[in-house]
Structure 1
Amino acid sequence: MKDEPNAGADALELRIDSKTYLSADGNPVEVIRGLALRLEPGAFGAIMGPSGCGKTTLLRIAAGLDPDFLGTRRVPRAQRLGIVFQEPRLLPWRTVEENIRLVLPAGDEGSDLAPLVETLGLGSHMAHYPGELSLGLARRVAIARAFAVRPTLLLLDEPFVSLDEVTAARLREQLTALTLREGTTTLCVTHDPAEAVELADHLFVLSHRPAAVIFERHLSSSELRRGNADVLSIQEELRDALVLSSGPASLSQAHSALRKN
């Protein structure tokens, strides 16, 4: 792996020629092959693909947590990384406020969290412990913790999974407000085409393992002001790409089929 700061820009660039691990029986399994992904500064990317294709592995590589791959990782200069996992991963013996402040650099422990807390509606819960929170509230705390470091790069692994739709919709609105306010480059894994279109301005669909990008869609400024018909059309494109990604068909077959649509 070659890890390079992006000296001239705050874009995220990944080129993964190959990522392999050993299975439980000791056989090598190639998870990703020939994957290229780029997000411009402040862009919000959504990653979709079949279960087990390597989406979480891709996020771990983007985060620098898995350097064991062939390729190149370029990250925003002066990188400050925020991560939101599928599970909130809060320390049960710490209050909400303590869980958020734990990630702050030395000397910043007294930082004013009020704007962040207000945006996420956590003001009345700061003295509570994780065991006293609903799953939706715990997810809000996890998002607050990720944003407390003022991240230049934010990575989210299905942060709204298993939430009811009303709670998930509220959290998506809050997340969008935070990423726009901070200008954060964001990459999010999701299984929901509607969620991807609501959140992102750059859409990626990964193939069956070994994963590569078989569909990429950048939404223009006019499309980001889209009406219902545009939203449904883009979601349908995503669903078509996901149908292709779920089988073992070759990338050339997938690309050919997508070009016909």
Structure 2
Amino acid sequence: MLIETHMHLGDTRFDEDRDVVLARAVEAGVEWFVEIADEPREWDRAIALSRARPERVRCTLGLHPYYADQWTSELGEKLLSMARLPEVVGAGEIGLDYFKYCTVPADRQKEAMRGMLACSWEAGLPVVVHCRDAYADLVPILEEFFQGKALPAGRRYFGVVHCFSGTAEEARRCAGAGFALGVDGPITYPKNNDLRTALKGAGLEALVLETDSPWLPPQSGRGKRNEPRAIAEICERLSELFELEKEKVAGATTRNARDLFALPQ
């Protein structure tokens, strides 16, 4: 069985066939799904999506760098309150994005990230970290914040670096700071040899599977809406990379995902 650790099924592109999409993923072997809420106005919707499918879906509540200018201490208090709900298994996405489309200044992004890290730690939630063109700033923040902190009982990770796209050295440092690395469709892209090298170097014990649906489709679906069932293709590519049977990769990444988000057996 497989676990989809990062999807955006609440996106309007799934309005016409949301349950059909889930059914296709279940048929492909996906057992659990984690819905990611990028900004506060999505939090209630993510909880409702999970509450309607308690046997399959949990959610995380975050503040994507695109919305970092919404950060306030009051928002942090809201997160702490909602973190008590059984549907909520993490905080995120949070992080840094220095690509041209993000208009929030870097200092404001860092302020929001540190605030959300503090709230997630107080709430006992793992964090889902977004990073684009910002590893040089992001990795030291993670190392500094979690230095000296003990992992809660039964957990192996403080969080996950979603859609990891850094170097082999950055992968090593993220894993060393107590973070899993999210593996998405880009691992299947022919030109991404450096990414595959970095992920293999991190080791299977550091990896979880995700699709970021409806974005980042694997090579077979480039240009199309992505779906959680693509987890199976990502797992297959990872098994080729590690030269292991697909079942072994599925088992290892599923155990990692359960540890990360404390998902039921």
TM over 0.5: no
Greater RCO structure (CA 8 Å; 6+ sep)? 1
Whose Rg is larger?
1
Flag the structure with higher helix content.
2
TM-score of the superposed pair, with normalisation by structure 2: 0.41
Flag the structure with higher strand content.
1
